[in-house]
Structure 1
């Protein structure tokens, strides 16, 4: 039987386990980004509530908007992970399709992690210089 025609219930067990492991790792990465992003948004709120240099307001608004965009990106990526979970459950989907989607999603989450790390660093540097 050609591997590209394998159904999930016929998928070799190691490949299935690896796909499940990878989706779990991707979910944990997204949870981490979401939680860190929430902390940064809370930090913006805390700073704005406790007296701050008004010159910072524009930059703080920009950061807040970028954090909101990160939330939107994480939401989209979570939907992609859920789609892969459905593929793993759906008996009619081939392993090749699952692996292709996993590779693409892994790359997208890696980019999101990198982008978020830079955003977090930029925000913390901005606060260090201006508070």
Structure 2
């Protein structure tokens, strides 16, 4: 049975995709924050303001999650760079396992973010 090799360049490529996705989320969150500011000016109902605060908190949680994911990518990129400097183009099993676990974290975060975004759009439809 032939072993499949995973090259540093493959992981680096996936990191680039994840970074773009995280940057996009960051940009979207900024526009969502702007929407919240617009709504604060329009509404003075306490229940509505509580919902706005809920979304503001959720967006801050997402920003923190994005920062942690970006930090993780940076750490893994450093490991890949060090491996490449040593002339190794193939990562060892533990590093590949770490990458796969991070891929799973990204997938979970995608679902969390998408659900929040869907919920927020429904909220906007109701109050804009």
Normalised TM-score (structure 1): 0.81
| Uncovered stretches (5+) of structure 2, i.e. residues with no partner | none
Residue correspondences, number: 119
- Check if 1:96 corresponds to 2:86: no
**Alignment match of 2:116 (pick from 94, 111, 119):** 119
In structure 2, how many angstroms separate the alpha carbons of the residues matched to 1:34 and 1:95?
32
1:3-42, aligned counterparts within 5 Å?
15-42=7-34
> How far 1:53 moved relative to its partner?
4.9
| Uncovered stretches (5+) of structure 1, i.e. residues with no partner | 4-11
Deviation string 1:21-75 (CA, Å, 9 cap, x unpaired) is: 11111111111111111111111112212x2251310011001000000000000
User: In the alignment, what sits opposite 1:45?
Assistant: 37
In structure 2, how many angstroms separate the alpha carbons of the residues matched to 1:22 and 1:95?
17
Q: Which has the higher contact order (CA 8 A, sep 6+)?
A: 1
Q: Over aligned residue pairs, what C-alpha RMSD do you find?
A: 2.0
> How far 1:95 moved relative to its partner?
3.0
**Alignment match of 1:77 (pick from 63, 69, 72):** 69
Question: 4+ residue stretches of structure 1 with deviation over 4 A?
Answer: none
